[in-house]
Structures are given as structure tokens and as C-alpha cells.
């Protein structure tokens, strides 16, 4: 993997794209003093080099009926730990699981899960999550309110 050079102008472009994902090269160029074509070339290079992976639309989860967010700490049995990838693959298939992280420490995974309500999370837990092989323990924390949520990196 080769080193990627990101200069001050690239960083400004990335900051703008993180704030306004649908913005076009002309509008970015206006904000930073570059022509549309020069700005477009930089954005394309950043995409080709893999710096910009995707530009998703951000939805308000509550406005689409996903009112409950849960963080679940999952501990696998010692036998289950030998099959970390099987667990990761299984939870990747569940649309309710937004994020899945492998952790060091006394739990193996941290999942961020969204559902319509507590009853829907209960169904998800009993019908899907707890049915996966190798699970020893799941500790769930229900989010009361979002204080800060961002995908923007502090570049």
C-alpha cells in the first residue's frame, strides 16, 4: 500500500464533503477558491485512492420509525471464540445491527442495534441474536438520548 498525500486543500474538501455529502465540485470550489474542474479532479483522486469510500445519505432514525437504539456487549464461550468470523458474518446479515466491533477485554463484540421499540428489540434478541451458536452472555444498554452522533472524522 503506497502512501497517500493529502494536503491542506484536500483536507478542506474532505471537511466539506463530510458536512454536506451531496455538494457538487462547483460549490466546493467556491468555498475554497478552486475552479470546478480542479476541485473535481481532487475529489476523483481522493476517491480513486480510497480516501473517500462512500457518501451516504444520513437519515433521522426516529423519523423512519426506529425509536430504540441498543448497544449490546456480546461475550462468546471459549469454544465460540474460535469462531469469531462466523459470529461476525452472521450479525452482518441482520439489518438491525448497524455496527459490529471486535473488542479486546472481557467482552468479544460491541453491537449497535436499532429497532422500532423495546418489544422489537426483545424479539430480535430472542429470535436472532441469542440463537447464534457460541454466545455465553449479552449485556444490552438502551440509549435514552443521542448527545453526539457523527461519522465525520476530525481531519
- What mean pLDDT do residues 4-9 have? 90
Q: Where are the domains of the chain?
A: 8-48, 68-142
Q: Work out the pLDDT band at 68, boundaries 50, 70, 90.
A: very high
8-48 to CATH, choices 1.10.10.10, 3.10.20.30, 1.10.3720.10, 3.30.1240.10? 1.10.10.10
Q: What is the pLDDT of residues 107-129, one digit of tens each?
A: 999 999 999 999 999 999 999 99
pLDDT at 55: 74
For residue 1, name the pLDDT band (cuts at 50, 70, 90): low
The reported pTM is 0.79
CATH code for the structural domain at 68-142: 3.30.70.920
What per-residue confidence (pLDDT) applies to 2? 66
**C-alpha triplet 108, 114, 116: angle, nearest 5°:** 145
When pLDDT is cut at 50, 70 and 90, the band that residue 5 belongs to is confident
Amino acid at each position: 500500500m503506497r502512501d497517500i498525500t493529502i494536503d491542506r486543500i484536500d483536507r478542506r474538501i474532505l471537511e466539506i464533503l463530510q458536512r454536506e455529502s451531496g455538494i457538487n465540485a462547483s460549490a466546493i470550489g467556491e468555498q475554497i477558491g478552486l475552479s470546478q474542474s480542479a476541485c473535481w479532479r481532487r475529489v476523483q483522486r481522493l476517491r480513486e485512492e480510497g480516501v473517500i469510500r462512500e457518501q451516504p445519505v444520513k437519515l433521522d432514525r426516529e423519523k423512519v420509525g426506529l425509536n430504540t437504539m441498543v448497544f449490546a456487549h456480546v461475550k462468546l464461550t471459549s469454544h465460540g471464540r474460535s469462531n469469531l468470523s462466523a459470529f461476525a458474518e452472521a450479525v452482518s446479515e441482520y439489518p438491525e445491527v448497524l455496527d459490529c466491533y471486535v473488542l479486546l477485554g472481557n467482552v468479544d463484540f460491541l453491537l449497535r442495534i436499532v429497532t422500532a421499540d423495546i418489544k422489537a428489540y426483545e424479539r430480535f434478541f430472542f429470535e436472532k441474536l441469542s440463537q447464534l451458536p457460541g454466545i455465553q452472555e449479552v449485556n444490552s444498554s438502551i440509549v435514552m438520548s443521542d448527545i453526539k452522533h457523527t461519522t465525520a472524522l476530525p481531519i
